[in-house]
Structure 1
Amino acid sequence: MLKATFRPYTLKFKTPGGTSRGVLTEKTSWFITVWDEKNPDIKGIGECSVLPKLSPDDRPNIETKLEDVARNTDLLKSNFHTALADWPAIRFALETALLDLGNGGNQELFPGPFTSGTKGIPINGLIWMGSPNEMKQQIEEKLNAGFRCLKMKIGAIDFQQEYNILKKLRSTFSPKDLELRVDANGAFSASEAPSILEKLAELNIHSIEQPIKAGQWQEMAQICESTPLPVALDEELIGIDEPARKEQLLQTIRPQYIILKPSLTGGFKASEEWISAAENNNTGWWVTSALESNIGLNAIAQWTATLNNPMPQGLGTGQVFSNNTKSSLTIKIGELWMKK
């Protein structure tokens, strides 16, 4: 019989993380540990990572739900994807804990070239919102570390200032030498987005994530139809669990890309349904972490490595916390590797 426990863990940012939804200084995760009564020395661990004001799991009763999951893990094992459809972060945590347990409890969920330390994953460097000087400093650090793909958060400070930073970068580095992505986190209105996209396209920006708030399917469809640069859906995917509904969203909006965050989409199985729907609709995709600790990031990285997507992935967030959990993950010249 399976048993489980959970415990909270507060992650603290080294420097405040600025987004268009506000500034983060800390966030909470819950670690779920699962074991079989017959063999209690082998334990699997998973992470329930919650982003304030964004995760569906960001509710006052989350610990009550985690207690329920811990009490009924054995019963949930066969149908947790359905039973926890409304709790994507908990669903992801239980999925990874069970995978870890099934593979011996050493946090090696998907054995392969990545876990053996013989293959890395290309990743983007993340630039948080801040003052122009703060953002420039972050950019210099990432470039010096060998990143050739940067993702910059936009939409919190004056757009012209953000544009000027990007313009200066592009004047120094060609699109061949440096890929630039931007993430608006829904900061712009449907009426102002087209002109902003026109300006960004002048700089050969690779893509813009979620230019307007989620839930405006028709407005987003119009933007994606006429956009001069690729649009990637991010928050738009949250809360959509039925495969038919996933197909409907992609067929309605017709985005150029979707971005998969297993903590927000409900784990690996749910994310693979999105990948299948994307490929059915000629939509590109990549994977991004959602500010998990190294527990969750490790699981996401291993899964991502099995997908063999050559694009830079958004898996460089392990460096943002001052009290992160121990990990074998390391970044070398713009790639994520596992040390052996």
Structure 2
Amino acid sequence: MALEISFYPYKLPLIAAWPGMIRNPMRFREGWVVKAKEHNCSGIGDCAPFQAFGTESKREAHRFLLQCAGNTWPDSAALLGKLEKQRSEYPASCFALETALLDLESRKADLPLRKMLNSKSSDNARVNALSGSICDENTLSSIESGFNVIKLKVGKQAVEEELACLKALCRKLPPQHLLRLDANGAWSLDEARYFLAASQGLPIESLEEPLRETGLAAFADLQNQTDITLALDESLKNLDLNEVLTNPTIRRLVLKPGVQGGLCCTLALAESAAAAGKESVITTLVDSAIGVQATCQLAAATDPLSPGLAHGLATSDWLSKDIAKPPEIRAGYVFLSDTPGLGIHETF
């Protein structure tokens, strides 16, 4: 029997506007549950385009999903071959389709998906909390849930104002707790230099995407001026990955499988980064529980490359409702079951 592809839309409200988007506030996550069926076994994936982070548009994703669902595929390998050629153009769609196929194949093999990706995968992964913006009043609430790496957005207000909020927050921060900051490309080079110089000695774990300018030379120059680890995230789509990997100054990459185009290629990139002495943080795209589960499986597969590194997986609480049960996150870790496939028990 041939492989069948189908997909179904969803629209999930957020509990508040997503903090990383100022000009066009996002209040819903929309996408499709993608299903791959073969005989009496099936697998699922999540297609949730996020164009601001470098995926295709929703219209483009829908067109590609329609094309894949309308074709006849003899098996998973045939469709995977097509996806390999389309990842750069339709990354969110390819992530969803590949996840569905890997879920299907790992169920058939009676393995958790992470073990199919890497036989040495961990069964849990450390997770950072996502607590909104640096000047929000509830920034420390996630500490009560056991997180000791707290991610906060910066670059939304004047640099001086945010520095005052940062220093006030650090005075309240318990020992052994660190802040992971994300500017989403908000600052000029001079603003970023000023912020980093004023932040020296504070418990900052890293700073993601500080620069409005996307060139690698400016980013590397900035990293040379600070002890704080800087990380490349959305700007990776505009950079030559070989230049990134061979630049000794670059310390950390933030990898979203929905932007890279799938679990397998993201794992391969994380392995290449580790071989070059760089860390890789795995993060979601504020997906549904299906996408989050898939990204958690990937984070567990990459955990041996950077043991104990906190990943950006705790985004399910930003949805006021979901299409399935999200993974269990407790005391700053995500715990994955031994259930074959993704670990999603709901039927679609």
TM-score, shorter chain, exceeding 0.5:
yes
Code of the aligned partner of 2:257:
P
- Answer whether contact 1:13 1:320 (CA < 8 A) is retained: yes
Aligned to 1:95: 98
TM-superposed CA distance for 1:165, in Å, is: 2.7
List per-residue Cα deviations over 1:156-187 (Å, max 9, x = no partner): 1233332223212322336x520111000101
Corresponding letter in the other structure for 2:99: T
Q: Distance in 1 between matches of 2:234 and 2:198?
A: 23
Give the 3 Å change call, closer, same or farther, for CA 273–248 of structure 1 in structure 2.
farther
Distance 2:84 2:231 in 1: 26
Cα deviations across residues 223-270 of structure 1 (Å, max 9, x unaligned)? Answer: 122233110110122266xxxx42222334832211111111112222
- Please list, as runs of the form range in 1=range in 2, the aligned pairs for 1:294-333 lying within 5 A after superposition: 294-308=289-303, 309-327=307-325, 329-333=327-331
**Inter-CA distance 164–20: structure 2 relative to 1 (3 Å threshold):** farther
Deviates more, 1:187-196 or 1:78-87: 78-87
Partner of 1:205: 204
Change (3 A) 1:85 1:95: same
- Structure 2 length as normaliser, TM-score? 0.85
Structure with a larger share of its residues in strand: 1
Contact 2:130 2:315 (C-alpha < 8 Å) held by counterparts: yes
User: RMSD in angstroms over aligned alpha carbons?
Assistant: 2.5
Aligned to 1:145: 145
1:67 aligns with 2:62: no
Partner of 2:218: 219
Distance 1:295 1:107 in 2: 17
Q: What code does the residue aligned with 1:92 have?
A: F
* CA spacing shift, 1:274–1:111, aligned 2, 3 Å: closer
TM-score (norm 1): 0.86
CA positional deviation for 1:73: 6.2
Checking the alignment, whether the CA contact within 8 Å between 2:251 and 2:278 is kept in structure 1 is yes
Tell me if structure 2 keeps the 8 A contact 1:148–1:177.
yes
* Contact kept in structure 2, 1:328 and 1:338, CA below 8 Å: no
1:7-86 equivalences in 2 (<5 Å): 7-22=8-23, 23-36=25-38, 39=39, 41-58=40-57, 60-72=59-71, 74=73, 75-86=78-89
Q: For residues 110-259 of structure 1, what are the structure 2 equivalents within 5 Å?
A: 110-111=114-115, 119-129=123-133, 132=135, 135-137=136-138, 139-173=139-173, 176-213=175-212, 215-238=214-237, 245-252=240-247, 254-259=249-254
- Deviation (angstroms), 1:272: 2.2
Deviations 1:56-107 (A, max 9, x none): 3125332111101222362433342123331111111111100111122799
* TM-aligned CA distance change 1:98 to 1:152, over 3 Å: same
Amino acid at match of 2:129: G
Q: Secondary structure at the match of 1:212?
A: coil
* 1:26–1:120 CA distance, 2 compared to 1 (3 A): same
1:30-77: per-residue Cα shift (whole Å, max 9, x none)?
Answer: 2111112xx1x3211111121242233125332111101222362433
Stretches of structure 1 that go unaligned for 5 or more consecutive residues are 113-117
Alignment partners' CA distance in 2, 1:157 and 1:265? 30
SS in 2 for 1:14: coil
The residue type equivalent to 2:288 in the other structure is S
> Are the equivalent residues in 2 in contact too, given 1:20–1:184 (CA < 8 A)?
no
Percent identity reads 25
Aligned pair 1:104/2:107, yes or no? yes
Q: Residue 213 of structure 1: CA displacement?
A: 3.2
CA displacement at 1:328 relative to structure 2: 5.3
Number of residue equivalences: 323
Check whether the contact 1:259–1:285 (CA below 8 A) recurs between aligned residues: yes
- Greater Cα offset, 259-268 or 299-308: 299-308
Q: Quick check: 1:34–1:98 contact (8 Å CA) kept in 2?
A: yes
What SS class does the counterpart of residue 107 from structure 2 fall into?
coil
1:236/1:143 Cα in 2 relative to 1: closer, same or farther (>3 Å)?
same
Output the CA distance in 1 between the equivalents of 2:248 and 2:265.
20
8 Å Cα contact 2:292-2:326 kept in structure 1: no
Where structure 2 has 5 or more consecutive residues not aligned to the other structure, the ranges are 117-121, 339-348
Aligned CA distance change for structure 1 residues 73 and 316 (closer, same or farther; 3 Å): farther
Could you report, residue by residue, the CA deviation over 1:195-216 in whole angstroms, capped at 9, with x for unpaired residues? 1111222413111001013632
**Secondary structure of 1:97's partner?**
helix
Contact map agreement 1:20 1:156 (CA 8 A) in 2: no
Amino acid aligned to 2:279: G
Higher alpha-carbon deviation: 245-254 or 179-188: 245-254
